[in-house]
Structure 1
Amino acid sequence: MTSGGPGTAASAASSRISDIPRRWASATPDGVAVREEGEAVTFGQLWHNIEAAIAFLQGRGVGLGDRVMIVTENCTASITLLFALSEIGAWPAVVNARLSEREIESIRAHCRPRLMIFTHSVSPDAVRHGVNYRAREITPPGLGPLMEAALDAESPREPEALARQVALLIYTSGTTGQPKGVMATHRGLMHFARVSARSRDLSPRDCSYAVMPISHIFGLATVLLGTFEAGASLMLFARFKPEDVLHGLADGTVTILQGVPTMFARILAYLRDHPQPVRAPALRYVYTGGGPVEATLKREVEATFGQPLHHGYGMTEYAGSVFITRMERPRNDVSCGEIVEGAELRVVGADGRDVPTGEPGELWVRGPGVMHGYYRSPEQTAEALREGGWLNTGDIGRLGSDGALFVVGRSNDLIIRSGFNVYPIEVESVVNSHPAVKQSAVIGRRTADNNEEIVAFVEVRPGHLLDVAELQEFLKPRLSAFKRPSHVLLLDRMPFSASGKLLKQRLRALADEALVS
């Protein structure tokens, strides 16, 4: 059963994320949806490709309640597949091709997809994984060159009601290193798409720089769905290059620049190595998310682009941001801004009660973006989803007197040193203020006397030298004694995941290797 054309009304029983491109294919079929490698795809062309992809998938036996694993980097084909599967009622599990072979296989074994697809034409890593699964090359109409693994005819289908409620699976390793499949709902994703478009005042005249992987909630909800919700276009890239950003800004195409803090740090480093004036005649909004923003980075980004650096707080389990700074009220601090429409927040103490304003506590959120749960993991779902519809985020934060949120760390990152609570983000912000420090990451390490010591990893700015003893002297007047690092370890480069997330598990392993007695 194929979908109707772009003018077909959405089902009264439910709304799907594919309703977003369907609407614009009907309203403005000639409007540009995606710019990729110098080629433009209109919303009308995109919907035509989606319909062709539906026919291809159904021809392979993919139906309501199935799961399809897409091993990819950003490309128009993966976006087309995402919306085609939405129309069918099957769940895409979009997975970043830059994951290791072990990680890909762990996700495959967990979600048991009926079909695996690899976008090998844009990703050498997708080629490698495709070969591992003995995938064959195909060129389906509307999608272009792909690799396809053998169909798993034994893959169980989800019940119809659940299949129609959940839009897709987003995989995250969490704190255990084992894959967790977040069941993001159509309702939550579409709600946040509207919130994202309104908070940025997006219109069809806008073009968003899109390098954040759509396998990550930031790239999927904020960048892709938020942009399309407004009928705006994406300038799509599979991998980040600072020169691509600067070119897109200089020619007046990019109006919306969004990325993780790491992306902005790399742009600044590139400009230091390649001094040049930054031209951005059409740029009107700059945003960072996916992790805490540090004050020094915020100041440098704002000075470079001549725009406020907006910030937000969100998570995979909420289908987007819960707090966002407002365009009309840019902030001078590093808060995550104000709560978004439809969301609620509790700041909970160790006794399970709400803490007074200004005190740190665990952040619990409630609203339309809350996930359905973790796929095939009722125990983890019960741990995260609490009575009354509250999601325990695992993050620690506090509210300012004006309602702005300040995130101070994750509950499992909290360091307890000699009975004092130490939040890594506070220590990192001070370490990063040293002129020779490019970025830092702080972890806690258990000691033989059952205490915790603080270990700071530091990446030095290119062209600078850093003396560890001098850095410790620099920190003395700026941090209390119990907050100062016991050890400072220098790294050539911080370990980040493909989506820009700092891999603290790897840092803990490095600390154990370096400091073992």
Structure 2
Amino acid sequence: MTPFRLRKLLKYKPNQKEKALLIYTSGTTGRPKGVIHTHESLLYGGWNTEVAHELTPDDNSLCVLPLCHINAQVVSVMGTLVNGSGLVMPQRFQASKFWFWMVDQKCTWFSAVPTILSYLMNIEEGEKIKSKLGRVRFGRSASAALPPALHKAFEERFGIKIVETMGITETASPLLSNPIDTKLHKLGSPGIAYGNEVRIADAKRDCSGFRN
């Protein structure tokens, strides 16, 4: 980038309604779709993450998810930017180094997927460093349903509570989350709505049931 273009970029003040990101869905419900987010919707995604997980400037997050996915871009990046907390971003996920990063960088939470939690259950490094994980407040699981058996086994082995959540690309990731308070957790459930409204529909897309 030339000095001229850099100066021009630094002077630019975006409008909150302007397009900021084009990202594709994973194709869970059909062919991948392109989703356009504004500066405003990305900020709201970060704020929803902050509120749901009770983040503060004292927190420090470890991001090991790919940035081509909405989870990493909004939950890990925007969720920390909106409150000025810290973010650690290794080049890629490595199960053998995960716990070292958590301790060495003084991380207080992480965002993962069930597959990553399974990998971490099958390595010895976590057991060796378990006594040094006192700073870790929680781990966040999303992007796929978390099997209750894995959920319980992970918490029992490492002493770290796992917050199961659900998000979609169209809502800038955060949609549902279990509260931070473990007394309000429900295994096998993605939790309650934060910053969004949710309706439960049947197979015919009828939302007139008593739960709505």
1:333 aligned partner: 187
Instruction: Give the direction of change, closer, same or farther, for the CA distance of 1:274–1:204 in structure 2 (3 Å limit).
Output: closer
Q: What are the within-5 Å matches in structure 2 for residues 109-128 of structure 1?
A: none
**In the alignment, does 2:128 pair up with 1:276?**
yes
After superposition, what is the alpha-carbon deviation per residue over 1:388-443, rounded to whole angstroms, capped at 9, x for unaligned? xxxxxxxxxxx6xxx9xxxxxxxxxxxxxxxxxxxxxxxxxxxxxxxxxxxxxxxx
Query: Match for 2:114: what amino acid?
Result: P
Residue identity matched to 1:267: L
Q: Per the alignment, in what secondary structure is the counterpart of residue 224 of structure 1?
A: helix
Shift of 1:215: 1.6
> Which deviations, in whole Å up to 9, do the C-alpha atoms of 1:23-43 show, x marking residues without a partner?
xxxxxxxxxxxxxxxxxxxxx
Unaligned 5+ runs, structure 2: none
Deviation at 1:237, TM superposition (A): 1.0
Residue 309 of structure 1 pairs with residue 162 of structure 2: yes
Using the TM superposition, give the Cα deviation of residue 176 of structure 1 relative to its aligned residue in structure 2, in angstroms. 9.4
Residue in 1 that maps onto 2:113:
260
Residue aligned with 1:344, SS: coil
Q: Which of the pair is proportionally richer in strand?
A: 1
CA RMSD of aligned residues (A): 3.0
TM norm structure 2: 0.84
Query: Is residue 184 of structure 1 aligned with residue 37 of structure 2?
Result: yes
CA distance in structure 1 between the partners assigned to 2:147 and 2:117 by the alignment: 11
CA distance in 1, matches of 2:149, 2:41: 34
Counterpart residue number, 1:298: 151
The structure-2 alpha-carbon separation of the partners of 1:57 and 1:337, relative to structure 1 and needing over 3 Å to count, comes to farther
Q: Normalized against structure 1, the TM-score is what?
A: 0.37
Pair 274,208 (structure 1): closer, same or farther in 2 beyond 3 Å = closer
**Distance verdict in 2 for CA 1:284–1:176, change over 3 Å:** closer
Secondary structure at the residue paired with 2:145? coil
Q: Which has the higher contact order (CA 8 A, sep 6+)?
A: 2
Q: Which has the higher helix share?
A: 2
| Pairing of 1:185-224 with structure 2 (within 5 A) | 185-224=38-77
Tell me which of 349, 364, 371 is aligned to 2:202. 349
Query: Would the aligned equivalents of 2:176 and 2:192 in 1 still touch at CA under 8 Å?
Result: yes
The 1-side partners of 2:190 and 2:93 are apart by 25
Tell me, yes or no, if the aligned pair for 2:60 and 2:108 is still in contact at 8 Å: yes
Deviation at 1:235, TM superposition (A): 1.1
Superposed CA deviations along residues 286-328 of structure 1, whole A, max 9, x for unmatched, are: 1111111001110111112213210111111111111111112
Q: Distance in 1 between matches of 2:154 and 2:112?
A: 12
1:235 aligns with 2:93: no
Distance 1:303 1:166, change over 3 A: same
Q: Kindly indicate whether the alpha-carbon contact (under 8 Å) linking 2:45 and 2:171 is maintained by their aligned counterparts in 1.
A: no
Matched, 1:58 2:9: no
- d(CA) in 2 for partners of 1:317, 1:184: 8
**In the alignment, is residue 174 of structure 1 matched against residue 121 of structure 2?**
no
SS in 2 for 1:301: helix
AA aligned opposite 1:219: A
8 A contact 1:196–1:226 mirrored in 2 = yes
Amino acid at match of 2:49: S
Pair 1:352–1:318, CA change in 2 (3 A):
same
Structure 2 residue aligned with 1:288, among 141, 148, 163?
A: 141
Cα separation, partners in 2 of 1:237 and 1:330, compared to 1, 3 Å: farther
Deviation at 1:356, TM superposition (A): 2.6
C-alpha spacing 1:333/1:323, structure 2 compared with 1 (3 Å): same
Offset of residue 172 of structure 1: 3.4
Shift of 1:274: 8.1
Which amino acid in structure 1 is aligned with residue 102 of structure 2? L
Q: Percent identity?
A: 25
2-structure distance, mates of 1:175, 1:331: 25
- Quick one: structure 1 residues 352 and 248, their matched pair in 2 at CA, closer, same or farther if it must change by over 3 Å? closer
User: Alignment partner for residue 226 of structure 1, among 79, 88, 98?
Assistant: 79
